[in-house]
A and B are shown apart, each in its own frame.
Chain A
Amino acid sequence: MKRDLMGIVGAVALYALLMGLIESEVIGAFWQLNIVLICINIILAVSLNLITGFTGQFSIGHAGFMAVGAYLSAVFTVKLGLPYIVGILAGAAGAAILGFAIGLPTLRLKGDYLAIATLGLGEIIRITILNIPYVGGASGLMGIPRYTTFTWAFFLMVITVLFIKNFINSSHGRACISIRENEIAAEAMGVDTTKYKVIAFTIGATFAGVAGGLFSHYFYIAHPASFTFMKSFDILTMVVLGGMGSITGSITTAILLTYISAELASYPEWRMVIYALLLIVLMIYRPQGLFGNKELSLKLFSRILGGGQRGAAENK
């Protein structure tokens, strides 16, 4: 509880700092956009990490759930004229229902079979949307008001991270992790593996829906091309690079990769080359991801620092 409060205080402090910088125009429009994008990417990466990293179910259809959230929330705000929060909640609920409905049959599959099935499902969602004239078809749903502000993105990101962190650090979370570790043993220990796989998948899909809502209400448009499997791979890359089963790892890479891609925006022809090289180098030297399945915490810092001091003392 204490640590949760400290985390929230830290988040508010960070928010105040960034908000101050934005208000005083130290952070310009370009970086402001990227900060919002970072928040959205953190939500996506952390929610996919719950499915892929913690529960061990390889999913590459995350952009599909994001698309559902993006479109559904936009339909609620644009077509039905409802408030933004209703739109976000509707998008999240829609993605959750779809996640549940898709998870139930597909999560019987394992490993690469599941990956292919989720890849296909992501595409099915996108192509279905592409063929619904009500939401604009191939030209996308336009004229979405920019309701997403830095504040919305930031606090929804904080809620997502807290939700998933608390879920993981509970008996229910441990049940999910036990599935990743050894499904047969988990079952033999009384864990209803199907139930927990579906729960993890549904929670992950819900937050992808939230991220979608933030996304479409920031960029004025929900377009099918934003939610191709390339987007799913982007999210998966963040999870794998950060470390499967490390929330702080996902956050770090979401920030890092969004930042790199923003920095490289002025060299579009080099962007993908450098990006790809970075991935290759990281996978060679840190195949378990930046943090593996460890979490970055103050405790870890103090251990490293403590170790350093001890080392220094011995050197004397």
Chain B
Amino acid sequence: MALLKINKLTKEFGGLKAVANFNIEINDGELIGLIGPNGAGKTTAFNLMTGVYEPTSGEMLFDGKSLVGLKPYEVTQRGIARTFQNIRLFSDLSVLDNVKIAYHFHVKYGLWESVLRVGRYYSEEDMIEQKAMECLKMFKLDDRRDEIAKNLPYGEQRRLEIARALAAQPKLLLLDEPAAGMNPQETHELMEMIRWIRDELKLTILLIEHDMSLVMGVCERIYVLDYGSIIADGTPAEIRNNPCVIEAYLGEEVC
């Protein structure tokens, strides 16, 4: 069964159709790429999936349940976590606290338990700390735990954002241009990491990316978006030779 099934999703901003008739189907455990020229509507599509925008029409089913009309935090609680194109960390907090916040909606102790320091407070706090450290260790950030997030080098900030998204324990991970601003070496490491996350954590991943070497190297299937609609989908090899895609990126041949 498809984990995420999006049917005829449309978003209009006034007269502009940013996303029109967007169809996509992602199965459990797949690693999918979403590419397209600048302004094709990729990030808008992400924002629709995560509840930042409400679609004008169309339907989105995640795990068989509709996502339409949910607030972003509800989407996250359903099991979709994301990163942002322009990194959005809790920049004045420590690396550890950044990750801890992602566990928040799994916490069961209530307000009074935290104020009076009784009941589940200590055991759950210990558990959160332990899990957060495990998560940081996975991303080789454990020795940075007390560093303030904004003082990390750029590449590590990107890693931390992915670590934080994974700490929310999602089923589907959305990565919005994870390699933006990275050098080829870092991009290569990121590629390895994405593949490793998927295999190790049995996640489904959908990523937007401009870096073709990364997309072609890591994705199993690719959707191509242009002017808000899907114009092609298939394996990297198919996409590379698809005339529609070449046209969208390079323009028509002038005879």
Q: Is B171 an interface residue (CB 8 A)?
A: no
Chain B residues whose CB sits within 8 angstroms of the CB of A199 once the complex forms: 111
Identify the stretch in B7-15, B86-94, B211-219 within 8 Å (CB) of chain A at 4 or more residues.
B86-94
Shortest CB-to-CB span from A135 to chain B, Å, is 32
CB contact under 8 A between A185 and B88, given known A171-B103, A174-B97: yes
B196 within 8 A of A: no
Residues of B within 8 A of A163 (CB): 115
State the CA gap A173–B73 with chains docked (Å): 17
Interface hits, B66-112 → A, CB 8 Å: 71-73, 76-77, 81-82, 84, 88-93, 97, 100-105, 107, 109, 111
B101: which of A1, A166, A175, A192 is its contact (CB, 8 Å)? Answer: A175
Stretch with Cβ within 8 A of B (4 or more), from A123-131, A176-184, A216-224:
A176-184
Residue A231 at the chain B interface, CB threshold 8 Å: no
Q: What A residues does B168 contact at CB under 8 A?
A: 189-190
Does A115 count as interface, using CB distance less than 8 angstroms?
A: no
Q: Is the CB of A171 within 8 A of B128?
A: yes
Q: For A173, what are the chain B residues with a Cβ–Cβ distance below 8 Å? A: 114
Q: Are the CB atoms of B81 and A174 closer together than 8 Å?
A: no
User: What's the nearest-Cβ distance from chain B to residue A29, in Å?
Assistant: 35
Interface size class of B (residues with CB under 8 A): 35 or more
Mark out the residues of chain A between 147 and 170 whose CB falls within 8 Å of any chain B CB in the assembled complex.
163, 166-167, 169-170
Report chain B residues within 8 Å CB of A189. 73, 76, 81, 101-102, 104, 164-165, 168
Within 8 Å by CB of A190, from B77, B89, B117, B121, lies B77
Chain B residues positioned under 8 Å from A170 (CB to CB): 109, 114-115, 121, 125
- Judged by a CB distance under 8 angstroms, whether A114 is at the interface is no
Q: How far is the CB of B34 from chain A (nearest CB, A)?
A: 18
Check A98 for interface membership: any CB of B closer than 8 A: no
Q: For A181, give its contact among B92, B115, B124, B165 (CB under 8 Å).
A: B92
A265 to chain B, nearest CB (A): 37
Q: Is the CB of A193 closer than 8 A to any CB of chain B? A: yes
Cβ proximity bits B45-74 to A, threshold 8 Å, 1 near / 0 not:
000001010000000000000000001110
User: Contact: B100 with A174, CB < 8 Å?
Assistant: yes
Interface centre among A4, A173, A191 (most CB of B within 10 A): A191
Contact residues in B for A186 (Cβ distance below 8 Å)? 90, 101
Nearest chain B residue, comparing its CB with the CB of A175: B104
B16: which A residues are within 8 A, CB to CB? none
CB distance from B190 to the nearest CB of A (A): 20
B255 at the interface (CB under 8 A from A): no
**A163, A192, A199, most chain B CB atoms within 10 A:** A192
B114 touches A166 (CB 8 A): yes
Contact B115 A190 (CB under 8 A): no
Q: Cβ of B1 < 8 Å from any Cβ of A?
A: no
B114 & A181 in contact (Cβ 8 Å cutoff) = no
Contact between A177 and B93, CB atoms less than 8 A apart: yes
A187 at the interface (CB under 8 A from B): yes
A298 lies within 8 A of chain B by Cβ? no
Which partner residue on chain A sits nearest B124 by CB separation?
Answer: A171
Please tell me if B116 contacts chain A, counting CB pairs below 8 Å.
yes
Q: A170-B121, A174-B97, A293-B92 are in contact. Are A190 and B104 (CB under 8 A)?
A: yes
- Nearest-neighbor residue (CB-CB) of A195 within chain B: B73
Contact of B89 among A4, A169, A182 (CB under 8 A): A182
A1 touches B92 (CB 8 A): no
**What's the least CB distance linking B48 to chain A, in Å?**
14
| B122 contacts across to A, CB distance below 8 A | 1
Q: Shortest CB–CB separation between residue B74 and chain A, in angstroms? A: 8
29 A-B residue pairs with Cβ-Cβ distance under 8 Å, sorted by A, are A1-B117, A4-B117, A166-B115, A167-B114, A167-B115, A170-B109, A170-B114, A170-B115, A170-B125, A171-B103, A171-B109, A171-B125, A172-B104, A175-B101, A177-B90, A178-B90, A178-B93, A184-B88, A185-B84, A186-B101, A187-B71, A188-B84, A188-B88, A189-B81, A189-B164, A191-B101, A191-B104, A193-B73, A293-B92
Closest 9 CB pairs of A and B: A170-B114, A181-B90, A190-B76, A190-B105, A185-B88, A187-B72, A171-B107, A178-B101, A166-B115
